Structure 1
Amino acid sequence: MTARAWVTGLGVAAPTGLGIDAYWSATLAGRSAIGRVSRFDPASYPSQLVGEIGGFVAADQLPSRLLPQTDRMTRIALVIADWAFTDAGVVPQELPEYGAGVITASHSGGFEFGQNELRALWSKGGRYVSAYQSFAWFYAVNSGQISIRNGLRGPSSVVVSDQAGGLDAVGQARRQIRKRTRMMISGAVDASICPWGWVAQLTSGRLSTSDDPERAYLPFDDRAGGHVPGEGGALLVLENAEHALERGAPRIYGEIAGHASTIDPRPGTERAPTLQHAIELALKDADAEPGDIGVVFADAAAVPELDRAEAEAITKVFGPRGVPVTAPKTTTGRLYSGAAPLDLVAAFLSMRDGVIPPTVGSTLSSRYEIDLVTGTPRPATLRSALVLARGQGGFNSAMVLRAVDRSRLRSQL
C-alpha cells in the first residue's frame, strides 16, 4: 500500500511575520509588508518596492561559525528548518541514520553573497574572495546546509524550476515518503534583495514599476502591471503517516494528496498553456473531483496575459465562479521559489481554522470568471485545497492538500 505523506511541522519566514502565528495573523488581517527597498538604494532602478523581512537577526539564531559561510537566504532557511522540526516535535539527530532527507527549491541561489565576493574581487583582488563563495551562492546550498546541521542522510536534492520550484520540491519529497522514507523536510527560501539580484529580476519585464505600495501588486485587476518581489518562504516537515502515528506527532496539518507539473509550449506556437492540464493531473493523482476542492491559492502573476491564462484554466476545471480563489501573497510580494510553500502553509491553516484569507488590494476585473476572495477573510468549511505556481519559461505546478480527520486517523492510512 502506498504510504501517505502527512505534514506535521511548519517553519515560516515572511515579510509579514516570522513564525506561523505572526504570519497567519497578519495574513488574516490583510496587513501588507510591501514598501520601498531598504537593503540598498533603489533610486536608480525602475522598480523600487519589495516585501522585506524585518527583525531577523541571524546571529541570535545560529552559531557564529555559520555566518561567514552563508547567504541571507541560507540563514533564514536554517532557522525555519529548526522551527519546522520543533513544531513537528522532532529532534532530527535522533532519527535513524538514513531516516530523513531534505529537498528544497531555489530560484536564484545566494545572490547577495555572490555580489559581496565580486565586489571584493573587483576592489581588492582575488585573494580577498572568500573560499565559501565556492558553495554559498549555489542553488543546492540550502539543502546541503540543512542536511549537515541536522544530520539528514536520507534522500536529498534541489529543484530549480523558477517560481514553480517550491511546489515541485514538496512533490519530490512526497515521492520519497511514498517510497517509505520516514521523514522529509521540504520547501524553499529565496532572498535576492541586492543590486545584482535586482537587475536580474528586472530582466523578466514582470516587476511592477508603481511607487504606491497599495497599488503595486494587483493580480486579476484591470490595473495589474506586474508583481512586487519579496524574500522568505516556508519549510514543511513531511512524514510517513504510519511513522507519525507511531511516534504520536503532536499535530497533523494535513496530507499532500496530489501533485503534477507541466511545461508550456514554446512561445509563438498555437498550442495552449498547460496549467489546466497540471490541475487535472493533480486532481487525478489525489483521486479527487473538482467539487472536492474548497479553495484555490492562485499563482497570481499580476501580468494581464498570465492572469488571463490562469483564470481561464481555473474556470475550465471548476466552472465560472465555481470555487473561491485567493492570493494572500499580495501582502508579501512574490517570494519566487519560496512563494508556493508559503501558500501551502496558508492553505493548511485555512483548512485548520475554516477561513479563506483575502487577496488584498485587488478588485476583480470583469474579464475573469473566478470567485476572487477580496476585502476580508471568508469563513468556509474546507476539506481540500489546491495550490498553483508558475515559473518563467513555462513551468506549471499544482498541488492538492487534504485535511486529515483526527478521529479516523488509522482508517485513513
Structure 2
Amino acid sequence: MTTATAKAPVITGLGVVAPTGIGAEAHWSAVLEGRPAIGRISRFDPSAYPVRLAGEVPGFVAKEQVPSRLIQQTDRWTHLGLSAAEAAIDDADVNPAELPEYELAVVTSSSSGGTEFGQHEMENLYQHNPEWVGAYQSIAWFYAATTGQVSIRHGLRGPCGVICTEQAGGLDAIGQARRLIRTGSRLVVTGGTDASLCPYGLTAQLSTGSLSTVQDPARAYLPFDSEASGYLPGEGGAMLIVESAEAAEARGARKIYGRVLGYAAGFDPPPRSAGGTPWPPSAAGPDSPGSERPPALRRTIAAALADAGLEPGAVDVVFADALGVPSADLIEAEALAGIFGPRGVPVTAPKTLTGRLYGGGAPLDVATALLALRDQVIPHTVGPTAPAPGHEIDLVLGEPRHQELRTALVVARGHGGFNAALVLGRAD
C-alpha cells in the first residue's frame, strides 16, 4: 500500500434504506440474488400518469425510525435520511458524543427536497387559505433539511452542507467529505436519500423526457440495451461514515469498508443553452448539430483516475451511471471504451433493481461497490439482454462474477449536465 493510499479517507459505516431492503446486508443480498424491487407505485394512484412504476422502500414506518415530533416537521425524504444516518453511525460503532463536536461534519446530496410535504402544504393553500399552511413548510421542503436534521440529532457541529447536482450529487457529497477530512474534520456523515414519489414530484420528473413509460417492470429500465426507453424513478438511498485514516485508527474502528482514492466532477451545459454545446450526432441523434467538444464524462473519469494516481488498468469494476436513454448510454459506453479499451473492464448497473434514486442513487452505488470490494464479487445487471450496437463494454449479465477486486469506479450523471466519478479502494 502506498503512502497516499494509506492516508486516504476511509469509509467505516454504511446505512442503507432502499427499495432492495432496509439495511446494507438486506440490500446486498437482494442485489446478489438479482431480486427486482420495481413495482406499481403505491404511494398514490398513478393511473393518470404515463409512468406508473417505481422502486419504493418496503416496510419503512417513520414512527419506528424517527422521533415523533420530527415526523410532523419533515418530509419522507428526511425520514429516510435520518434512518440511514443513524444506521451508518451504529454500523461504524462510533459515539459522536465522545468526539469533538466541531470536528464532526455532515454533507448530503439532495435532488428535489421535500416534494411530498410541499405538495400537501400547497394543496392546503389553494384548497383553503394561507392559515392552513404550516410553519414547517418553510424548512421541510428545503434541500438542506436532511443535513440540518442529521446535524442536530447527533450533535455534529462541524462544517455542514448540501450538494444539489441531482444523481451526480451523491459522489459530489463524498468528494466534499474528503475535502473536509483533508482540512481538519475528523468524521463526516455523507451520502443522500430521495423520496419524490408523489404527483408533484413525478410531474416534475416527467419534464425531463427521460422516464420510461413501458408498463412491464422487467422491460421498463434497460440501460445499454437495444430496447432501452428511459429509466424508472425510485426512493431511498444510503448514508456513509467517512473518517480520516488516523482518526479511525485512533478510536479503534472495528471495520473499514474501503478508501476514497480519487474524485472528479465535470459539467456539460445543456444542448442549445447559453454557452452550451450540443452532443455529437452519434450520441444526440440526427436532429442535433455536431460539436467540436466531446462530452465531459470521459475527461471526468480520467481526472478521477489521475487524482487517485491510478492507470486505467488498475480499475477492476465500473458501477455505471446507466441512464437508460440510448443517446446518454452511448456517451457513457464510448467514454468507458475510450479510457479502458473496448470491453476492457467489467461494468455493472445494479440500479436496474431499484430505479434511479436521484440524490440517493450514487451513494447507494457507492455502498454496493464497497460491499463488492469486501466480498470480491461483481453483482450482475438485471434486465438488459440484447446490448445496443456500438456499446463496446463488458456488461456483467446473468449472474454475479467472482474475481479479485482491488478498486472500483463509480460514475454518476445528473440532469442538466452534471457528472462525477469516484474511485474506491479495497480496505487493505
In 1, distance between residues paired with 2:179 and 2:30?
A: 33
Q: Is the 8 A contact 1:264 1:272 kept in 2?
A: no
Aligned equivalents of 1:97 and 1:359: distance in 2?
41
Contact 1:27 1:328 in 2 (8 A): yes
**Inter-partner Cα distance in structure 2 for 1:45 and 1:63:** 34
Residue aligning to 1:357? 379
Instruction: Give, in angstroms, the shift of residue 404 of structure 1.
Output: 2.3
| Alignment match, 1:257 | 261
User: How big is each residue's C-alpha offset from its partner over 1:308-333, in whole Å with a ceiling of 9 and x where there is no partner?
Assistant: 00000000000000000000000000
Q: What is residue 341 of structure 1 aligned with on the other side?
A: 363
Partner of 2:156: 152
Cα distance in structure 1, aligned partners of 2:423 and 2:249: 22
Q: Is the 8 A contact 1:328 1:359 kept in 2?
A: yes
Out of 354-363 and 265-274, give the one that drifted further: 265-274
Runs of 4+ in 1 over 6 A off after TM superposition: none
Q: Are the counterparts in 2 of residues 361 and 375 from structure 1 also a CA contact under 8 Å?
A: no
- 5+ unaligned residues in a row in structure 2: which ranges? 278-290
> Structure 2 CA distance, aligned partners of 1:280 and 1:64?
46
The residue number in structure 1 matching 2:306 is 284
What's 1:13 paired with? Answer: 17
1:316 maps to 2:320: no
- Note the C-alpha offset of 1:365: 2.3
1:240 aligns to 2:244 (yes or no): yes
Correspondent of 1:390 among 388, 393, 413? 413
Q: Partners in 2 of 1:263 and 1:237 — Cα distance?
A: 27
Report the AA paired with residue 315 of structure 2: I
Q: Could you say what secondary structure the match of 2:167 adopts?
A: coil
CA distance in structure 1 between the partners assigned to 2:197 and 2:114 by the alignment:
10
Distance in 2 of aligned mates of 1:97 and 1:349: 29
2:231 is aligned to: 227
Question: Contact between 1:300 and 1:307, CA under 8 Å: does it hold in 2?
Answer: yes
> Which residues in structure 2 correspond to 1:33-44 (within 5 Å)?
33-44=37-48
8 Å Cα contact 1:4-1:177 kept in structure 2: no
CA distance in structure 1 between the partners assigned to 2:180 and 2:260 by the alignment: 12
Measured after TM superposition, the shift of residue 63 of structure 1 is 1.5
Distance (Å, rounded) in 2 between the aligned partners of 1:357 and 1:171: 24
- Does 1:371 pair with 2:394? yes
Contact 1:265 1:273 in 2 (8 A): no
Deviations 1:66-114 (A, max 9, x none): 1100100101100111100000001112211212010001010000000
Give the structure 2 partner of residue 299 of structure 1.
321
2:153 maps to 1:130: no
Match status 1:97 vs 2:101: yes
How far apart, in 2, do the equivalents of 1:200 and 1:42 lie?
A: 14
Instruction: Write the distance in 1 (CA, Å) between the matches of 2:302 and 2:116.
Output: 38
* Equivalent residue number for residue 425 of structure 2: 402
Contact 2:106 2:158 (8 Å CA) reproduced: yes
Alpha-carbon spacing, 1:255–1:14, altered in 2? closer, same or farther (3 Å):
same
1:222-258 deviation per Cα after TM superposition (whole angstroms, max 9, x unaligned) = 0000000000000110001001011110110010110
Question: Cα distance, 1:180 vs. partner?
Answer: 2.3
Bigger Cα displacement from structure 2, 92-101 vs 137-146:
92-101
- Aligned partners of 2:106 and 2:189 also within 8 Å: yes
Q: Describe the superposition over 1:349-368 as per-residue Cα deviations: whole angstroms up to 9, x where unpaired.
A: 00110100011011222421
- SS of the residue corresponding to residue 102 of structure 2 reads coil
State the distance in 2 between where 1:402 and 1:116 align. Answer: 44
Pairing of 1:183-194 with structure 2 (within 5 A): 183-194=187-198
Superposed CA deviations along residues 324-349 of structure 1, whole A, max 9, x for unmatched, are 00000000000011111100011100
Contact 1:103 1:172 in 2 (8 A): yes
* Equivalences, count: 405
Q: Which residue, out of 46, 49, 57, partners 2:50?
A: 46
Deviation at 1:178, TM superposition (A): 1.2
**Within 1, Cα distance between the matches of 2:398 and 2:200?**
36
Q: Residue 203 of structure 2 aligns to which amino acid in structure 1?
A: V
Kept in 1: contact 2:103–2:184 (CA 8 A) = no
Q: Does 1:195 align with 2:199?
A: yes
- Deviation (angstroms), 1:266: 4.2
Contact between 1:14 and 1:231, CA under 8 Å: does it hold in 2?
yes
Paired position in structure 1 for 2:89: 85
Matched residues in 1 for 2:141 and 2:13: separation? Answer: 27
Q: Secondary structure at the match of 2:363?
A: helix
Q: Distance in 1 between matches of 2:85 and 2:95?
A: 11
Instruction: Tell me how large the CA RMSD over aligned residues is.
Output: 1.0
Structure 1 partner of 2:285: none
Structure 1 distance, partners of 2:323, 2:317, is 18
2:32 is the alignment partner of 1:32? no
Superposed CA deviations along residues 138-176 of structure 1, whole A, max 9, x for unmatched, are: 011110000000111111100011110110011001110
Which one-letter code corresponds to 1:302 in the other structure?
G
TM-score by length of 1: 0.97
How high is the sequence identity, in percent, across the aligned residues? Answer: 58
- The question of whether the paired residues in 2 share the 8 Å contact of 1:261 and 1:396 is answered with yes
SS in 2 for 1:237: strand
* Secondary structure class of the residue paired with 1:359: coil
Provide the rounded CA distance (Å) in 2 between the counterparts of 1:136 and 1:359: 35
Question: Does the alignment pair 1:274 with 2:278?
Answer: no
1:164 alignment partner, SS class: helix
Q: TM-score, normalised by structure 2?
A: 0.93
